[in-house]
Amino acid sequence: MIKIQVEDGLYLKSLELKDSEDLLPLVEVNRAYLREWLPWLDMTRTIDEMIAFIDSAIRQQAAGLGFQAGIWYQNQVIGVIGYHHLEWANRSTCIGYWLAEPFQRRGIMTKACRTLVEYAFDDWHLNRIEIRCAVGNTKSRAIPERLGFRSEGTLREAEWLYNHYVDHVVYGMLADDWTAARTTNDAPRSAASIHSTTGTTHSSS
């Protein structure tokens, strides 16, 4: 289990099977809100489906291919953030996230995302991080823009969203750019502390 303290009252914790009991009700309450931009809502309606998702996340972490973490705020889970498509050969990954509607516009997701960016660059020594957002999803796009990611182009009809395709904007950050931004205080280092109860071996092949 990986736990990263972002700040007082806010931490990230790699998903465990028991979290399904908290995550499913959270998804259910926010289903209509999340469905506007997330394609998996119709495939996550039962406790068994949520358990299957968490199980896949646990296997991802065990294989050294990243992890999915619950976002915990004042001792309640309010969203999920994690790494997708971690490629050790290219030292690159992609970050994805979602947050319950009542906790929007508090800076929580920006802090959580900054923490995972730092974790990837500092602990895994990756070279590149991507964040892909639907063109019209302005709230999601604000996160990489706020963190100084560079817009690198648009993928046309990149994702099927229930009954239509959506274009994706690709945002990228390189390790050297992140380090330079830190130096100029454009991307200040968080006060996150990391506690891991399991060792993970990472491979570059």
pLDDT for the residue 202: 36
- For 161-200, what is each residue's pLDDT tens digit? 999 999 999 999 999 999 998 887 654 444 455 555 544 3
Beta bridge partner(s), residue 194 = 4
Q: Does residue 65 register a pLDDT over 90?
A: yes
pLDDT for the residue 9: 96
Determine the average pLDDT of the residues in 27-49.
94
| Percent of the chain with pLDDT strictly greater than 70 | 90
What does pTM read for this prediction?
A: 0.88
2-196 sits in which CATH class? alpha beta
- For 103-159, what is each residue's pLDDT tens digit? 999 999 999 999 999 999 999 999 999 999 999 999 999 999 999 999 999 999 999
Q: Show the tokens assigned to 160.
A: 């099927």
3-state secondary structure of 183: helix
Q: Does residue 12 register a pLDDT over 80?
A: yes
pLDDT for the residue 183: 80
> Whose CA is closest to 35, among 95, 114, 87, 101?
101
Domain boundaries, the chain: 2-196
Query: Which bin fits 46, alpha (ψ -120 to 50), beta or left (φ > 0)?
Result: beta
Q: Show the tokens assigned to 197.
A: 């109860």
pLDDT for the residue 170: 98
Pairing type for strands 165-174 and 150-160 reads antiparallel
Backbone phi, then psi, for 63, in 5-degree steps?
Answer: -85, 0
